[in-house]
């Protein structure tokens, strides 16, 4: 009949959740004939489930009939205790197997007793305590006055030599004796498992003993050693890497956490999801939550409300506080760690205003709520920290404020002496902003916006993203500030993906509809809407209206820098609408304002916009002069990105004037700078312009080379505008190749059943790709693409190839049908059309002109 203990063990084994990969690895290591690894190391933050996993390993090993020993390194303080514990757990009644070890251990303990009894007869003050360095006897005694060598001499005078040797070299001798017993036991049982838990608590001497004495002895490979702790093993373990398997334990997966909650009786999907989010799927937090009776009466809606959430959160915090409440230093340290998000010794010294903090930090490190981050800093578990922080603020607003103020000042000081946008500068700046937002939300939002705009200006988009992630950790009280955050999410979407303007446009439209939107934000939103209307939709009237509204708002706000920006965009939009007089006035007003402000960047954009106006108006000499002035202003400002943009427009201007060599130089200068700043979309645009020049010159070899490079970049980006342009160029090239074929080659195709020449197949495929890409662009590009295709088809028809034209149309329409049915593959994957592209292509397919031409 099973005992209560056996029943408990079976229940624990059956209720164990997850960790299947680790369990499978353990079974493989214990089952293999030739040991794949001799050491299995598992590490992870406190509370992640290491000890539970170790106990499950022990249960599995026992079921397989293997002797098991578990050594808790925070309980066993000396090596002789560790050796004795292993022997007792695996040896049991195997007296013969461990006879030599038992005899040596008895002798060691006898000598130890004799020595302790004799200490009193030694001159007072000679021996005062245990010393690390010489194991066990002398290794356990700190020698104050007479020195280590004199103490050894004293031992040899007062003890038989064999006994003195055993005491002085007990670590090595006892280990050798235990290894003999372990090897014999492994021979009898096929496998032994020895596990060392909480390894982060072991001393340097214990670590050296395990690595350099036990493992480096004659220990059989049939002994599997498992080590668990919070940290990766130190570099001194490098020589064991070939037989050491190390794995970091992560929080439960979503499936594992769901299984755990189901086993505890929580099955409502919405509540399961809420609890997973709240606990971050940490095993200890899940266990704590499910140990709270109130949770079983909750719904997901209940849990999201403050009272119920605090029931759980306060329970977690109570567990933590109960462990530190009797330690005043540790309690103060916990308050600091609740205020700062991450910390190291420098942060704690600055905020606590203490120099000697090593011992409190060591004690704090023991708790499962303290986590080691990938960057080497520490943090409290997010849930625990949230409630500790709220509790401190409730208990003492003044202390909470002071700690945040000290933290902000420290981070600012550190950031001030570091290179801008270095990894450390980023971290200190983000932490400073976090505390600024907590102390002064209005000022913090302004600082956030300033940092974001500056980083965007210098193309430091990684930092822009970090800023947005950073601000999520602050619960903004002001709705207007939340609007700003929404706006910058839209900005970020188009910064990360140039083709995500639709997403940014939707955000701007939603913000614009808010009646109480702050004027400064409405000014930004209307500027972006204006840019979207003229740059992407080609709707110049709406663009001008939006930009004029933004201009008025900027003037009311006396934001002259913003006013200059809007004027530069307004000039370009007005020129696109054909109102050149108004466009010139806007461009000149931008230049005048930039000079007043002594703002080189704004001056550069003013001359740039005026250059675009004059180029569109046909005054190429004036345009060239404006672009040169713009180059000078951007160069003075050190703004290379602006220089690159101007080079592109100078290239376009050179194409219009027929100076193709100059155009190539300008486009290549643009490409170099765009690639330097990771503006690959703009680099691709210039690459396609270069291809246009090679097409105009009929330089087919150069065109093929440049087009191949451009295509690789365009396909990687999903760059639909430039793909449409490039495919039209490649189709034109294929058509020219066909028309240049000898007459007998052309006549060999009868237009009906025979296979079309490769050039014509390529042309048809390029036209189809051009149409599919143009349909994805949020502007009237599809019509322009269709017109260009029909123009070339007309050329073919004029040369007597009407049947060919009809066949090409039929095949293009068939390709469109496949794309609409989601079965058309391109570049190794299916074409993915947006809803707008679906609608545009469906309308094109049903167009009467195409239906008649294609025989539809």
Q: Is 7 exposed, middle or buried (0-12, 13-18, 19+ CB in 10 A)?
A: exposed
Q: How far is CA 478 from CA 245, 346, 445, 483, 484, in A?
A: 51, 33, 10, 9, 10
Last residue of a domain, which of 669, 687, 717?
717
pLDDT (tens digit, 9 = 90+) per residue, 215-229?
988 899 999 999 998
d(CA 653, CA 662): 10
Identify the residue whose tokens are 């990938």.
Answer: 374
Q: Establish if 455 belongs to a structural domain.
A: no
Contact 272, 266 (CB under 8 A): yes
Q: What is the CATH number of the domain that holds 182?
A: 3.40.50.300
Could you tell me which residues come within 8 angstroms of residue 735 by beta carbon, excluding any fewer than 6 positions away? 759, 763, 792, 795, 796
Q: Establish if 447 belongs to a structural domain.
A: no
Whether 21 shows a pLDDT value over 70: the answer reads: yes
Residue 711 sits in the same domain as residue 731: no
Give the range among 183-197, 349-363, 836-850 with minimum mean pLDDT.
836-850
Can you tell me the mean pLDDT for 131-141?
Answer: 37
Residue 109 sits in the same domain as residue 153: yes
d(CA 550, CA 548): 5
d(CA 403, CA 386): 15
Q: Establish if 520 belongs to a structural domain.
A: no
Residue 64 sits in the same domain as residue 133: yes
As given in the structure block, the two tokens for residue 759 are 């050039």
End-to-end CA distance of the chain: 84
Give the range among 239-248, 735-744, 798-807 with minimum mean pLDDT.
735-744
Percent of the chain with pLDDT over 90: 37
Task: Using alpha carbons only, give the angle 111, 115, 116 rounded to the nearest 5 degrees.
Answer: 120
Residue 174 sits in the same domain as residue 201: yes
pLDDT (tens digit, 9 = 90+) per residue, 56-74?
899 899 888 899 999 988 7
Task: Using alpha carbons only, give the angle 689, 779, 536 rounded to the nearest 5 degrees.
Answer: 75
Q: Smallest Cα–Cα separation from 104: which of 186, 172, 193?
A: 172
Q: How far is CA 140 from CA 134, 147, 784, in A?
A: 7, 14, 88
Give counts: helices (H), strands (E), the chain. 42, 11
pLDDT of residue 142: 33
Q: What is the CATH number of the domain that holds 677?
A: 1.25.40
As given in the structure block, the two tokens for residue 193 are 């498992």
Identify the residue whose tokens are 């520490």.
Answer: 378
d(CA 843, CA 675): 38
Residue 693 sits in the same domain as residue 741: no
Whether 737 shows a pLDDT value over 90: the answer reads: no
Q: If residue 280 lies in a helix (H) or strand (E), which one and from where to where?
A: none
Whether 285 shows a pLDDT value over 80: the answer reads: no
Q: 94 — alpha (psi -120 to 50), left (phi > 0) or beta? A: beta
- DSSP classification of residue 201: G
Identify the residue whose tokens are 């955000």.
Answer: 507
d(CA 525, CA 448): 17
Q: Establish if 823 belongs to a structural domain.
A: yes
d(CA 473, CA 435): 11
Q: How far is CA 209 from CA 109, 172, 206, 214, 649, in A?
A: 19, 9, 5, 6, 72
Give the range among 380-384, 510-514, 607-611, 813-817 with minimum mean pLDDT.
380-384
pLDDT of residue 760: 82
Contact 411, 429 (CB under 8 A): yes
Residue 20 sits in the same domain as residue 121: yes
pLDDT of residue 333: 93
d(CA 710, CA 243): 49
Whether 128 shows a pLDDT value over 50: the answer reads: no
Could you tell me which residues come within 8 angstroms of residue 369 by beta carbon, excluding any fewer than 6 positions away? 46, 47, 320, 380, 381, 384
Q: Establish if 586 belongs to a structural domain.
A: no
pLDDT (tens digit, 9 = 90+) per residue, 654-705?
999 999 999 999 999 999 999 988 888 889 999 999 999 999 999 989 999 9
Q: Are strands 127-130 and 141-143 parallel, antiparallel or unpaired?
A: antiparallel
d(CA 574, CA 147): 92
Give the range among 115-124, 404-413, 735-744, 748-757 with minimum mean pLDDT.
115-124
As given in the structure block, the two tokens for residue 394 are 């409730």
pLDDT of residue 525: 96
Three-class SS state of 344 = coil
Last residue of a domain, which of 248, 268, 291?
248
Can you tell me the mean pLDDT for 590-619?
Answer: 96
d(CA 177, CA 133): 22
**Cα-to-chain-centroid distance, residue 339:** 24
- The confidence band for 139, taking pLDDT boundaries of 50, 70 and 90, is very low
Backbone angles phi, psi at 755, to 5 degrees: -70, 135
Can you tell me the mean pLDDT for 152-165?
Answer: 64
pLDDT of residue 150: 60
d(CA 350, CA 370): 20
Could you tell me which residues come within 8 angstroms of residue 316 by beta carbon, excluding any fewer than 6 positions away? 285, 288, 383, 384, 387
Q: How far is CA 663 from CA 214, 651, 687, 706, in A?
A: 74, 4, 12, 15
pLDDT of residue 376: 77
Beta bridge partners of 131: none
Contact 85, 64 (CB under 8 A): no
Can you tell me the mean pLDDT for 725-748?
Answer: 81
Residue 686 sits in the same domain as residue 808: no
**Cα-to-chain-centroid distance, residue 280:** 17
Q: How far is CA 727 from CA 277, 626, 790, in A?
A: 47, 33, 15
pLDDT of residue 123: 38
Q: Establish if 10 belongs to a structural domain.
A: yes
pLDDT (tens digit, 9 = 90+) per residue, 508-546?
999 999 998 999 999 999 999 999 999 888 899 999 999
Whether 122 shows a pLDDT value over 80: the answer reads: no
pLDDT of residue 140: 39
Residue 765 sits in the same domain as residue 706: no
Calculate the dihedral angle through the C-alpha atoms of 725, 726, 730, 736, rounding to the nearest 10 degrees.
40
d(CA 625, CA 364): 68
Identify the residue whose tokens are 């080497």.
Answer: 376
pLDDT of residue 412: 96
Q: Smallest Cα–Cα separation from 644: which of 679, 609, 602?
A: 679
HSE (CB half, 13 Å, CA atoms) of 783? Answer: 5
Q: Establish if 486 belongs to a structural domain.
A: no
Q: Smallest Cα–Cα separation from 140: which of 101, 106, 170?
A: 170
Q: 658 — alpha (psi -120 to 50), left (phi > 0) or beta? A: left
Residue 146 sits in the same domain as residue 236: yes
Can you tell me the mean pLDDT for 541-554?
Answer: 96
Domain range enclosing 840 = 719-853
As given in the structure block, the two tokens for residue 775 are 């349909």
Most confident of the following: 515-519, 548-552, 839-843: 548-552
Residue 82 sits in the same domain as residue 210: yes
Percent of the chain with pLDDT over 70: 82
Residue 666 sits in the same domain as residue 786: no
If you write DSSP's letter for every residue of 549-563 in order, what string do you get? Answer: HHHHHHHHTT-HHHH
Whether 137 shows a pLDDT value over 50: the answer reads: no
d(CA 623, CA 613): 8
Q: Establish if 674 belongs to a structural domain.
A: yes
d(CA 707, CA 653): 22
Could you tell me which residues come within 8 angstroms of residue 30 by beta carbon, excluding any fewer than 6 positions away? 60, 61, 64, 66, 191, 193, 224
pLDDT (tens digit, 9 = 90+) per residue, 430-441?
999 999 999 999
pLDDT of residue 751: 55
Whether 308 shows a pLDDT value over 80: the answer reads: no
Number of domains in the chain: 3
Last residue of a domain, which of 228, 248, 268?
248
Residue 651 sits in the same domain as residue 771: no
């Amino acid at each position: 009949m099973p005992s209560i203990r056996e029943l408990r063990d079976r229940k624990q084994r059956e209720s164990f959740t997850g960790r299947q990969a680790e369990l499978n690895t353990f079974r493989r290591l214990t089952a293999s004939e030739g040991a794949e690894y001799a050491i299995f190391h598992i590490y992870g933050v406190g509370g992640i489930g290491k000890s539970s996993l170790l106990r499950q390993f022990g249960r599995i090993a026992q079921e397989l009939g293997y002797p098991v020993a578990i050594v808790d390194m925070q309980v066993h303080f000396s090596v002789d205790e560790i050796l004795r514990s292993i022997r007792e757990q695996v040896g049991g009644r195997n007296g013969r197997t461990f006879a030599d070890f038992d005899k040596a251990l008895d002798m060691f303990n006898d000598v130890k007793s004799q020595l302790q009894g004799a200490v009193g007869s030694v001159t007072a003050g000679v021996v005062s305590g245990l010393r690390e360095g010489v194991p066990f006897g002398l290794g356990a005694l700190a020698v104050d006055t007479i020195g280590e060598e004199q103490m050894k001499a004293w031992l040899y005078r007062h003890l038989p030599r064999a006994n003195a040797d055993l005491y002085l070299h007990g670590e090595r001798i006892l280990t050798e004796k235990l290894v003999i017993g372990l090897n014999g036991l492994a021979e009898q049982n096929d496998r032994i498992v020895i596990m060392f838990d909480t390894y982060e608590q072991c001393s340097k001497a214990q670590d050296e003993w395990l690595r350099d004495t036990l493992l480096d002895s004659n220990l059989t490979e049939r002994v599997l050693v498992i080590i668990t702790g919070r940290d990766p093993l130190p570099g001194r373990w490098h020589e064991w890497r070939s037989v050491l398997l190390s794995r970091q334990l992560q929080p439960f997966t979503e499936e594992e956490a769901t299984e755990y909650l189901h086993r505890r009786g929580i099955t409502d999907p919405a509540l399961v999801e809420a609890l997973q989010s709240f606990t971050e799927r940490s095993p200890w937090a899940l266990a704590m939550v499910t140990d709270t009776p109130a949770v079983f009466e909750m719904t997901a809606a209940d849990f999201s409300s403050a009272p119920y959430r605090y029931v759980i959160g306060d329970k977690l915090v109570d567990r933590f506080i109960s462990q530190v409440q009797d330690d005043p230093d540790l309690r103060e340290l916990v308050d600091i760690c609740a205020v700062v998000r991450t910390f190291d010794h420098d942060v704690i010294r600055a905020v606590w205003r203490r120099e000697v903090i090593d011992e409190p930090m060591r004690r704090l490190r023991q708790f499962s709520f303290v986590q080691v981050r990938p960057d080497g800093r520490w943090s409290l578990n997010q849930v625990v920290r949230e409630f500790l922080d709220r509790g401190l603020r409730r208990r003492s607003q003044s202390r909470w404020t002071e700690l945040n103020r000290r933290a902000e000042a420290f981070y600012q000081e550190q950031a001030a002496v570091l290179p801008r946008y270095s990894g450390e500068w980023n971290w200190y700046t983000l932490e400073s902003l976090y505390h600024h937002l907590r102390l002064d939300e209005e000022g913090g939002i302004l600082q956030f916006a300033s940092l974001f705009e500056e980083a965007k200006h210098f193309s430091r988009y990684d930092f822009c993203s970090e800023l947005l992630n950073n601000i999520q950790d602050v619960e903004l009280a002001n709705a207007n500030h939340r609007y700003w955050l929404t706006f910058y999410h839209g900005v970020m979407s188009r910064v990360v993906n140039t083709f995500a303007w639709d997403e940014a446009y939707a955000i701007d439209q939603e913000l614009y509809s808010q009646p109480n939107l702050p004027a400064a934000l409405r000014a930004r939103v209307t500027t972006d809407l204006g840019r979207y209307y003229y740059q992407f939709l080609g709707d110049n009237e709406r663009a001008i209206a939006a930009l004029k509204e933004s201009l008025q708002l900027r003037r009311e706000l006396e934001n002259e820098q913003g006013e200059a920006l809007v004027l530069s965009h307004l000039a370009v939009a007005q020129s696109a609408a054909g109102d050149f007089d108004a466009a010139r006035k806007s461009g000149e007003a931008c230049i005048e304002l930039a000079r007043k402000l002594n703002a080189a960047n704004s001056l550069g954009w003013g001359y740039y916009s005026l250059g675009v106006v004059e180029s569109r108006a046909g005054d190429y000499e004036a345009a060239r002069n404006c672009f040169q002035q713009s180059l000078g202003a951007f160069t003075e400002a050190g703004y290379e990105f602006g220089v690159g943009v101007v080079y592109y427009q100078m290239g376009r201007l050179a194409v219009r004037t027929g100076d193709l060599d100059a155009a190539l130089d300008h486009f290549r200068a643009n490409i170099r700078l765009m690639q330097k700043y990771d503006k690959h979309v703009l680099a691709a645009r210039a690459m396609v312009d270069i291809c246009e020049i090679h097409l105009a010159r009929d330089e087919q070899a150069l065109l093929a080379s440049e087009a191949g490079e451009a295509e690789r970049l365009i396909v990687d980006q999903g760059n639909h505008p430039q793909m449409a342009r490039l495919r039209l160029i490649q189709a034109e090239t294929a058509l020219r190749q066909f028309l240049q074929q000898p007459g007998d080659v052309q006549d060999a195709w009868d237009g009906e059943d025979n296979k079309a020449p490769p050039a014509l197949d390529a042309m048809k495929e390029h036209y189809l790709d051009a149409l599919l890409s143009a349909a994805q662009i949020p502007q009237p590009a599809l019509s322009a693409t269709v017109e260009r295709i029909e123009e070339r088809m007309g050329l073919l028809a004029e040369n007597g190839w009407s049947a060919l034209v009809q066949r090409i149309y039929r095949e293009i329409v068939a390709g469109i049908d496949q794309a609409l049915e989601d079965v058309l593959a391109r570049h190794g994957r299916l074409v993915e059309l947006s809803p707008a592209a679906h609608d545009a292509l469906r309308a094109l397919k049903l167009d009467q002109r195409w239906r008649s031409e294609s025989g539809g």
